[in-house]
Amino acid sequence: MSLRSHLAAIVLAAMAALPLRAVPLDLTTATIADIQTAFSAGTLTAEKLTTAYLARIEAYDKKGPALNAVIVLNPNALAEAKSLDAERKAGKVRGPLHGVPIVLKDNIDTFDLPTTAGSQLLEGSIAPDDAFVVKKLRAAGAIVIAKVNLSEWAGGGGSVSGATDPKLVAAGEVPNGYSSHGGQTKNPHVLDRGPAGSSGGTGVAIAAVFGQFGLGTDTAASVRGPANASGTFGLKTTHGLVSRDGVVPLALTFDTVGPLARSTYDLAAALNVLAGIDPDDDSTLKSAGRTPVDYTTYLKPGSLKGARIGIARDFFGKDAEIDAVVNQAIAKLKELGAIIVDDVRIPPPVQGIRGPLYNTVRSAEFKAQIAGYLATTAPKYPKNIYDLARLANDPATGYRSSGKAVGLKYQAETSLDLHDPVYTAAIAEGIPYVRAAMEGVFANHQLHAILYPTSPTPVSLINPPARESGPPSPGANPLNIANITGFPDLVVPAGMSPRGLPVTFSLLGRAFTEGRLLGFAYDYEQATKAIKLPVNTPALASDKLVP
């Protein structure tokens, strides 16, 4: 052996004898990969991780800024964490989610915690079993640490959306982020602003670091609005990629389940468990052979090189501050190698039809489909939309949402039946037309994704002045395009506006292209690190999991 080799061997032996130095780990920035590395090294346990999340909930949910995102804590969370630690010590590791605390939107069934859809009319209702996605998450080792608030009945259930009478619109308004059961949730960045809907509690909980990732549901914008308002990543999944069995329906033609997280890695890790065929949800049959083995393999530097991204300028020009941040993001995407196809326009007929088309289908389906879910609840609970409307408008009930009471009565009286020719035409003709038109936009410009501000305007005040009230301008918000087409849409944090609110952009892709979209977002994320911890929920000493 040469002297150099001999010295090298001595150095390696000495290094091996030294104790491993723990890599610093911060709860607010750690990914699931970081956490699993610490678990494997023995420097972190699920019990310690869960305790750290509970400490942030204790500090910020009902105290301090009083965000009020949590509807119910899981009283067994620490016991579950200890059990998972014991499994790991015995050599059983279920996978990347083993010992990872998560939150669920409270319209997703759990066998051990109530599921209320935010309504006081379902207070205390325990589902007969877990939703399909919850079963999968628990089997993978995830810990449901809490269920979180939402816009009641996912917002659109019991809504006056589509009404034209100004007095009715005003009477049916519900404060941004409010439910009759969960109360008012606040935006963690600016407390007089709402969290957007309907998965507002999930967005707030993830931004404020109450869980590693959370589940939301999206029927028109319900994952993406909250991801934008709270400044997190959020994925509206392809219709049929993730089961909705055991989820309170709003409109099954549009309903999807998707994750919100503080990193693209965590979205991908969650999607690895969530995606897949469920025999009890026929829509998932569409995903057969179209899901990768591992979404994290798409997370590669350089993913944006050569990507053709169209800029949907129809949705700019509403707010100069938002436009400025998104335009900076577009410039960064170009710098990272993306081919920017500017001024891609949504076909005017699509812009004209999509609002009425969506409202027609959503209202008719909620009226019919909510009865199917309510049939699974105990006898004391309401069983159809007429029961909901009657109870909400009965003074003896003491119902805590006057706007939702108006909306439920309006929908019960005006929603079409599923055999109505207008509804059947919307399903048979309207939705396929929008989907074909958007496929044409992708094909004509040879696009991999279409980009727009997730919200062209700032998230609204919880209690806006009257001049801000009223129905939005037709076509102003882009987000229901993804629901009508069934396409995936990924929200990416881009920065902060001067008013202290997050700004995000959305990447709309063709069906089952989640992996590609995640790759684009990862490349941008690594170059910018644009996500911010809310000023109202600063770091705690207990966030330092490994000092």
Could you give the angle at which helices 46-60 and 77-89 cross, rounded to 10 degrees? Answer: 160
Q: What are phi and psi of 220, to 5 degrees?
A: -140, -35
Q: Which helix (DSSP H) or strand (DSSP E) does residue 41 occupy?
A: helix 32-41
Among 381, 361, 362, smallest CA distance to 371 is for: 381
Q: What are phi and psi of 21, to 5 degrees?
A: -85, 130
**In a 3-state reduction of DSSP, which class is residue 358?**
helix
- Give residue 142's identity as a one-letter amino acid code: A
Alpha helices in 244-384 (DSSP H): 264-274, 320-335, 348-374
Measured over the CA atoms of residue 393, residue 399, residue 402 and residue 408, the dihedral's sign is negative
Beta bridge partners of 218: 256
- Give residue 465's identity as a one-letter amino acid code: P
CB atoms within 10 A of CB 541: 8
Judge if the upstream peptide bond of residue 198 is cis by omega within 30 degrees of 0.
yes
* CA separation for the pair 80, 233 (Å, rounded): 27
CB atoms within 10 A of CB 250: 29
In order of 70, 107, 153, 158, the CA distances from 218 in angstroms are 19, 11, 12, 16
Beta bridge partners of 495: 503
- Give residue 190's identity as a one-letter amino acid code: V
Could you give the angle at which helices 348-374 and 385-392 cross, rounded to 10 degrees? Answer: 90
Pairing of strands 233-236, 256-261: antiparallel
Q: How many CA atoms lie within 13 A of 87 on its CB side?
A: 17
CA–CA–CA angle 377, 383, 385 (5° rounding): 130
- Residues catalogued as catalytic: 105, 198, 222
Residues near 497 by beta carbon (within 8 Å), at least 6 away in sequence: 321, 322, 325, 458, 503
